[in-house]
Amino acid sequence: MDSTITLTVDGERRELTVDTRTTLLDALRDRLGVYAPKKGCDHGQCGSCTVLMEDRRVLACLSLAVAHDGARVTTAAGLGDGDELHPVAGAFLDEDAFQCGYCTPGQICSAVGMLSEVASGWLSHVTEDPEGPVEATDAEIRERMSGNLCRCGAYPHIVAAIRRAAP
């Protein structure tokens, strides 16, 4: 069953007609040609499809496109400012935080969302002092990024890149 929806993707307003069964991930990749979010598992287990929805990190593979009519979606491709890389993306380059790169757009979106969660003072499972300041320590980064898997095992460099990009 078809439904016509509007999405603002990486700053651009796009209207499209989708079957109600279409996930946001398939709508982005197959319908809108936005290939930054990747399909790893398609079941919410790997994080490679992570995008920002209204600035919060979510999984595009478990989101139905029709359920997000009107949403503002930012993928890794839309994070930068013109030719300027987003600081998190730049830090991934500087720290060599990938090998094949398949998980990278999801890692970067997740890291951007995660750093704003830290800035908002959100606790994590490993926060030792709930009353104290919340900071992006290595232990915090590892815990908060646990929803993003990397089959190449670039984890130490991913942690270093996020630490470098953290304010």
Partner 1 sequence: MNPFTYARPGGAGEAVEAVTADPGACFLAGGTNLVDHLKLGVASPTALVDVRGAVDDTIEESPDGGVRIGAGVTNSDLAAHPVIRRSYPVLSSALLAGASGQLRNMATTGGNLLQRTRCVYFQDVTTPCNKREPGSGCSALEGHGRDNAVLGTSEQCVATHPSDMAVGLLVLDAVVVVLGPSGERRVPLADLHRLPGAEPERDTVLERGELITAVELPAPLAEGRGAYRKVRDRASYAFALVSVAALVHVRGDRITEARIALGGVAHAPWRARRTEAALEGRPLTEAGLRVAAEAELARARPGKDNAFKVPLAVNTCTAVLRDLTGVGS
Ligand X SMILES: Cc1cc2nc3c(=O)[nH]c(=O)nc-3n(C[C@H](O)[C@H](O)[C@H](O)COP(=O)(O)OP(=O)(O)OC[C@H]3O[C@@H](n4cnc5c(N)ncnc54)[C@H](O)[C@@H]3O)c2cc1C
- The binding site for ligand FES (CB under 6 A) comprises 39-42, 44-49, 59, 61, 98-104, 150-152, 154
Asked if 14 and 79 touch (Cβ cutoff 8 Å), the reply is no
| Least distance from ligand FES to the Cβ atom of residue 71, Å | 17
Length, in residues, of the chain? 167
Partner interacting with residue 152 (select from ligand X, ligand FES, partner 1, none; CB below 5-8 Å by kind): ligand FES
Nearer to partner 1, 6 or 20 (CB): 20
Based on CB atoms, which residue is closest to partner 1, 93 or 153?
Answer: 153
Distances 144 to 42, 45, 71, 137, 139 between C-alpha atoms, Å: 21, 15, 24, 10, 9
- Consecutive H or E run containing 74: strand 72-74
Pick from ligand X, partner 1, ligand FES, none: which does 63 bind, CB < 5 to 8 A by kind? Answer: partner 1
- In the complex, minimum distance from the CB of residue 45 to ligand X, in angstroms, rounded to a whole number: 4
Binding site for ligand X (CB under 6 A): 44-45
Tokens at 97, concatenated: 């935080």
Q: Which is nearer to partner 1, 12 or 55 (CB)?
A: 55
The encoded tokens of residue 158 equal 């991913």
What are the helix (H) ranges across the chain?
24-26, 87-94, 104-119, 138-144, 155-165
Q: Which does 66 bind (CB under 5 to 8 A by kind): partner 1, ligand FES, ligand X, none?
A: partner 1
SS3 19: strand
Beta strands 2-9 and 72-74, pairing class: parallel
Query: Smallest gap, in angstroms, from Cβ of residue 5 to ligand FES?
Result: 20
DSSP assigned state of 8: E
Residues that bind partner 1 (CB under 8 A): 1, 3, 19-21, 23, 42-44, 47, 50, 56-59, 62-64, 66-67, 110, 113-114, 117, 120-125, 130, 142-148
